[in-house]
């Protein structure tokens, strides 16, 4: 008998791009996730279930074994710290950059800099590596507003097209990391359920490769 496998998916913008990759690996939800209020979904395989949760909760579920595997942005994984997780696949979706940004043409900050972000740990580590001590202000969204309102000198946030920064009179200043979504596996699950997980990873890797080839053709 096959062991039960649970995959935690980030709801929001990653989900739409994740489902075609799962489908290419022959995992298809039994009903339409987008029109349902359910949190757990059966799939075409009786032993595989999907749970759909907030992006920031995915590493926590996988770390503590609430799910065997999951899909999360590298930004979220960096902030979480990655304890207890393997990160075997870059899904090459939801690509963006994690950046320091500030008001356009802002002067260098005198004294201790105030940085608004939801990526508190990543921000602390980034500035500490540069030998800079900064005051970090935790926000949960609309980071771009913080420098405008005088709450912070800089922000650390996701930048893709740069439209949100530009629309608010900000500009990117320093690149922290390239971001994409990753497939993660809990360390105990990888050990105990390896026989079932490895073929799934192989299929996903094939689907990523096929998509890459299609793009470059
Ligand atoms: P939550 O709603 O739980 O606070 P969130 O708002 O960060 O999370 P999403 O906006 O769905 O969730 O983003 C999920 C992931 O998509 C992010 O962790 C990041 O990896 C990536 N991402 C975020 N913004 C962009 C963007 N503008 N372009 C491309 N990818 C992005
Ligand atoms: C994300 C991020 C930026 C924006 C960047 O926000 O926090 O605000 O996208 O993308 P851009 O460079 O293409 O403009 P999102 O739209 O996810 O809203 P959020 O504030 O809910 O996170």
Token pair listed for 106 = 């802002």
In 3D space, the residue among 94, 98, 97, 118 whose CA is nearest the CA of residue 9 turns out to be: 94
Summarised one tens digit per residue, pLDDT across range 96-133 is 999 999 999 999 999 999 999 999 999 999 999 999 99
Report pLDDT digits (tens) over 21-56.
999 999 999 999 999 999 999 999 999 999 999 999
The pLDDT score that the predictor gives to residue 65 is 97
Q: Is the CB of 56 under 6 A from ligand 1?
A: yes
Whether the predicted pLDDT of 86 surpasses 90: yes
Mean pLDDT, the chain, whole residue set: 96
Atom 24, ligand 1: which residue's CA is nearest?
A: 158
C-alpha 110 – ligand 1 centre gap (Å): 32
How much of the chain exceeds pLDDT 70, in percent? 100
pLDDT of residue 53: 97
Cα angle for residues 31, 13, 204 (degrees, 5° grid): 65
- Over residues 162-184, mean pLDDT: 98
**CA 191–ligand 2 middle distance (angstroms):** 37
Nearest Cα neighbor of 18 from 78, 83, 80, 69 is 69
The reply to whether ligand 2 has any atom less than 6 angstroms from the CB of 161 is yes
């Amino acid at each position: 008998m096959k062991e039960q496998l649970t995959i935690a998916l980030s709801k929001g913008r990653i989900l739409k791009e994740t489902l075609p990759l799962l489908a290419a690996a022959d995992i298809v939800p039994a009903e339409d996730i987008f029109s349902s209020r359910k949190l757990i979904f059966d799939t075409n395989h009786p032993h595989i279930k999907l749970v759909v949760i907030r992006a920031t909760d995915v590493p926590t579920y996988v770390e503590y074994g609430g799910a065997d595997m999951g899909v999360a942005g590298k930004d979220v994984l960096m902030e979480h710290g990655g304890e207890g997780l393997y990160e075997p696949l870059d899904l090459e979706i939801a690509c963006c950059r994690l950046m320091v940004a500030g008001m356009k043409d802002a002067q260098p900050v005198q004294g201790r800099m105030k940085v608004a972000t939801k990526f508190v740990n990543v921000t602390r580590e980034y500035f500490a590596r540069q030998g800079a001590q900064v005051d970090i202000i935790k926000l949960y969204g609309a980071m771009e507003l913080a420098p405008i309102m005088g709450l912070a000198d800089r922000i650390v946030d996701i930048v893709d097209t740069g439209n949100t920064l530009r629309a608010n009179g900000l500009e990117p200043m320093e690149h922290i990391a390239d971001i994409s979504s990753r497939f993660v596996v809990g360390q105990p699950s990888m050990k105990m359920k390896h026989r079932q997980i490895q073929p799934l990873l192989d299929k996903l890797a094939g689907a990523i490769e096929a998509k890459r080839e299609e793009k470059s053709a």
